[in-house]
Chains A and B, each alone.
Chain A
Amino acid sequence: MNPFSTPAENEVVITHEDVDRAHDRSRVATARARRGFSSKARLLWLLVGPGVLVMLGENDGPSMLSYAATGARFGIGFFIPFVALTFCMAIVVQEMTVRLGAATHRGHAELIFDRFGPFWGWFSMIDLGIGNFLTLITEFIAIRAGLGFFGVPPWAAVLLALVVLYAALMSHRYWTWERLTLAAAVFNLVFIPVALMTHPHWHAVGHAFITWQPLPGFNKDTLLIVLADIGATVTPWMLFFQQSATVDKGMTTKDIHFGRIDTVLGAALATAAAIATILATAPLFAHQMTADNFQAAEFAQALEPIIGRFGASLFALGMVEAGIVAAITISTSSAYAFGEVAHKPHSLNLPMGEGKSFYAVLTLCAVAAAAIVLIPGLPLVYVVLVVNVVAVLAMPPALVFLFMLVNDKEIMGDLVSPVWANVLSTAVVFVLTAAGVLFGISIIAPNIFAALGGK
């Protein structure tokens, strides 16, 4: 049975969104028709985007802060290969969204709504919306803290971030938005030169990759960091964003191979930036510096005596970039999900007049989160904690629906996951779900883990 119903060709109405997408697809078709290395390279250039954006977007303010804390507390050792492993798990999950988007041309929220009913559709959208909004607040906290290093007042910092977010939207064109955001996202790699400035002990790095040692002491705190790192590797907005962006970009089943390359490339870049951040703050571990309660700018200040003002400035700018790119991608994923579930137009190719609700949701989410950060006396540390709890607890439903959808023969046809991929993805889904639940339990009942021989 074909679950898709489409109008007859003579009933088709062509919209502005279709014309923009057709332009993008024409360029892809032209590049695909040619032979040679340069044509393949151009095809890759045209088709990369959602995967790189989602992976570098996940290297957001709180994540970079977490990597910085990992380097400062544990130095070079177990967590270097462990972070690389978590991104491998992210590839397995995100590849499924590429296939779903290319095969169905529908977003994740829309598929859940249509295939499993309005209850689960609205649940997923509201769940995502709350999680995204809280996460957006943490992004603006990172932006505020990062620019605070340069003496920029908080109101100016969040205003600057909103201007960048709005500037990317102004073209009303997916392609332009994607390229502008990609240009900003690549700046995430600024943590690599910062790491090089600290003159890392490369022998120790190589040893850590091969042996996964030295192991951190096994106690409650270590376990929580492991669980938090696993739980934060794949967050719900990533699933919704990459699938919706794949659809908005107009990718088809012919592009799945390049979609996979895009995802792996994004993961490789994000892994490099994450490991660089651990290496950058590892000298704080060597200098026995306590960094338990450091915020973004405080890491930059602590590093200044080691790497100088320029290096510390780069570190602070990296935090700002991480917050801005995540704010752009996360608010966009909320707008996509709302449009998909409410059956309103949802595309970055929409002119403002045709996509009022889409742009309104996107803008309102960002502006409200930015405004909250400016409230004096707001318990921002507590907001970050609640964000972690909501994010990890929201993952299991999102992963279960992803797994059921990608194995739905009626909508996926021959693109359902093969047995080996299902075994792999089941293992990853199990690990991510278990880590998320354990992390949630550890937050509400921390004493349970105290029995593990730690503090």
Chain B
Amino acid sequence: MKNDERLNLDSDRTWVLSSLEHDQLANAKKQPIARRNLKGPELFVLWALRVYVLFMMTVVGYQVWIAAH
């Protein structure tokens, strides 16, 4: 296994960069992807999901309440 010191060699850098796609590198993946610009139908879906989440929390809360009693 190569250690971090050896990773700094140009030959290793070249080999790794030629083996991986640029956005596969761990460092590149630290960059966040831009936020999506949501339009009408997508906003509606997300609001529907919020309502669903409330339903879901009610169901799970009810289950926990039943268990506690």
Is A115 touching B26 in the complex (CB atoms < 8 A)? no
Chain B residues, CB < 8 A from A120 = 46
User: Cβ of A221 < 8 Å from any Cβ of B?
Assistant: no
Interchain CB contact (< 8 A) of A4 among B15, B31, B67: B31
Chain B residues 17 to 65 lying within 8 A of chain A, measured CB to CB, are 17, 19-36, 38, 42, 45-46, 49, 52-53, 56, 59-60, 62-64
| Alpha-carbon gap, A13 to B8, bound state (A) | 9
Chain A residues, CB < 8 A from B53 = 123, 397
User: Cβ of A377 < 8 Å from any Cβ of B?
Assistant: no
Closest chain A residue to B18, Cβ basis? A22
Chain B residues, CB < 8 A from A105 = 21, 23-24, 29
Is B29 touching A116 in the complex (CB atoms < 8 A)? no
Shortest A163–chain B CB gap in Å is: 24
Interchain CB contact (< 8 A) of B36 among A16, A23, A386, A408: A408
| Alpha-carbon gap, A261 to B12, bound state (A) | 33
User: Cβ of A440 < 8 Å from any Cβ of B?
Assistant: yes
User: Cβ of B69 < 8 Å from any Cβ of A?
Assistant: no
User: Cβ of A31 < 8 Å from any Cβ of B?
Assistant: no
Chain B residues, CB < 8 A from A413 = none
Closest chain B residue to A13, Cβ basis? B27
Closest chain B residue to A343, Cβ basis? B30
Is A5 touching B31 in the complex (CB atoms < 8 A)? yes
User: Cβ of A414 < 8 Å from any Cβ of B?
Assistant: no
Is B34 touching A386 in the complex (CB atoms < 8 A)? no
Shortest A272–chain B CB gap in Å is: 34
| Alpha-carbon gap, A18 to B30, bound state (A) | 13
Is A19 touching B7 in the complex (CB atoms < 8 A)? yes
User: Cβ of A26 < 8 Å from any Cβ of B?
Assistant: yes
Is A386 touching B31 in the complex (CB atoms < 8 A)? no
Chain B residues, CB < 8 A from A386 = 60, 63-64, 67
Chain B residues, CB < 8 A from A393 = 56, 59-60
Is B19 touching A114 in the complex (CB atoms < 8 A)? no
Q: Bits for A199-242, please: 1 = Cβ < 8 Å to B, else 0.
A: 00000000000000000000000000000000000000000000
Is B32 touching A114 in the complex (CB atoms < 8 A)? yes
Is A389 touching B21 in the complex (CB atoms < 8 A)? no
Interchain CB contact (< 8 A) of A397 among B8, B16, B35, B52: B52
Q: Bits for A364-383, please: 1 = Cβ < 8 Å to B, else 0.
A: 00000000000000010010
| Alpha-carbon gap, A410 to B34, bound state (A) | 10
| Alpha-carbon gap, A3 to B45, bound state (A) | 22
Is B7 touching A115 in the complex (CB atoms < 8 A)? no
Known: A1-B34, A14-B13. A21 touches B60 (CB 8 A): no
User: Cβ of A60 < 8 Å from any Cβ of B?
Assistant: no
Known: A14-B25, A18-B16. A6 touches B31 (CB 8 A): yes
| Alpha-carbon gap, A238 to B27, bound state (A) | 26
**Residue among B16, B23, B52 having the largest count of chain A Cβ atoms under 10 Å:** B16
Is B20 touching A18 in the complex (CB atoms < 8 A)? yes
Interchain CB contact (< 8 A) of A404 among B28, B32, B45, B59: B45
Known: A6-B31, A17-B26, A18-B26. A116 touches B46 (CB 8 A): yes
| Alpha-carbon gap, A444 to B28, bound state (A) | 46
| Alpha-carbon gap, A415 to B19, bound state (A) | 22
Is B42 touching A404 in the complex (CB atoms < 8 A)? yes
Closest chain A residue to B38, Cβ basis? A116
Is A400 touching B45 in the complex (CB atoms < 8 A)? yes
Closest chain B residue to A345, Cβ basis? B26
Shortest B55–chain A CB gap in Å is: 8
Is A18 touching B33 in the complex (CB atoms < 8 A)? no
Is B25 touching A12 in the complex (CB atoms < 8 A)? yes
Is B49 touching A397 in the complex (CB atoms < 8 A)? yes
Which 5 residue pairs are nearest across A and B when measured between Cβ atoms?
A3-B34, A22-B19, A114-B33, A115-B36, A393-B56
> B interface vs A, CB < 8 Å?
2, 4, 7-8, 12-13, 15-17, 19-36, 38, 42, 45-46, 49, 52-53, 56, 59-60, 62-64, 67
24 contacts between A and B (CB under 8 A): A3-B33, A4-B23, A4-B34, A5-B34, A6-B31, A7-B27, A7-B28, A12-B25, A15-B7, A15-B26, A18-B26, A22-B16, A22-B19, A25-B20, A26-B19, A106-B29, A110-B33, A116-B46, A252-B21, A379-B67, A397-B49, A404-B42, A408-B36, A410-B34
